[in-house]
Homo-oligomer: A and B are copies of this chain.
């Protein structure tokens, strides 16, 4: 049975890292929910906007696969750029969409965790003050509707780069949101906080860059796996990533990559046939 994870939040959960900046992650044990069914994962996983790219879920799932070699992992992409906690209120379209996707996933998987990253759109003092209360209401209703009362929830901090960019004035309350996320995790059952310390952004100073998203995914996995808060960067996060990158591709994975190159017009039919014969030897 697939172990599935619901991805909710805003753009840094959807992922805006540049694909060209990091080695690809392909693992035949890692799937994404597409149209209610499981397909082999490829990035972008969470295609909410044309700018969707690398998020934290790919390295999260790859790290899970390293530890749980027999399990298949399923990602349920429901994050949406620029959305506030208010947008995520129960009964609104985003919430109901996520519930519908998760219920479709539950037909063929065990819903095993919820991955949340959000808060940039709530970086105002009056919003930060009610962040814990509002997030609590969303998560309570989500666990209820999906009948997963004890499911672990991982929440991640906002990047300290936010105030440095051309949009910096909108994020002066980001530390208050981070404190709310940490306190929420410390006071709620089955909830764990992950720091964004040491991570970097794209030139817009809004979105984690691809290298940082890969690391954030490792931190999310460690928080999930060990059921603990990750308050400081992990000494071994790059080592886990290297193990993921250096994993030998299976025949099936090589075939999938080759089929994509043919289907997208990158190689001719003759090249496809020749390369297919070569990898099948």
Chain A interface residues (CB < 8 Å from chain B): 16, 18, 34-37, 39, 42, 47-51, 53, 78-80, 93-94, 96-98, 100, 104, 107-108, 165-166, 202-204, 207, 260, 262-265, 268-269, 273
Q: Are B16 and A269 in contact (CB under 8 A)?
A: no
Asked whether A94 lies within 8 Å of B18 as measured between CB atoms, the reply is no
Q: Which of B36, B39, B51 contacts A96 (CB 8 A)?
A: B36
- Could you tell me the distance between the alpha carbons of A80 and B39 in the complex, rounded to whole angstroms? 11
| Interchain CB contact (< 8 A) of A93 among B18, B37, B50, B260 | B37
Query: Chain B residue with minimal CB distance to A41?
Result: B50
Q: Chain B residues with Cβ under 8 A from A264's Cβ?
A: 18, 50-51, 53
- What residues of B have a CB within 8 angstroms of the CB of A104 in the complex? 93, 96-97, 100
* Complex interface: chain B residues within 8 A of A78 (CB): 35
5 nearest A-B residue pairs (beta carbon): A36-B93, A36-B97, A42-B50, A47-B47, A51-B263
Instruction: Please name all residues of chain B whose beta carbon is closer than 8 Å to the beta carbon of A51 when the two chains form the complex.
Output: 260, 263-264
With A16-B263, A100-B100 as given contacts, are A94 and B203 in contact (CB-CB < 8 Å)?
no
Of the A-B pairs whose beta carbons lie under 8 Å apart in the complex, a sample of 30, sorted by A's number, is A18-B264, A18-B265, A34-B47, A34-B48, A34-B80, A35-B79, A35-B80, A35-B93, A35-B94, A36-B94, A37-B80, A37-B93, A37-B94, A39-B49, A42-B49, A42-B50, A51-B264, A93-B107, A96-B104, A97-B104, A100-B100, A100-B104, A165-B269, A202-B265, A203-B262, A203-B265, A203-B268, A203-B269, A204-B263, A207-B263
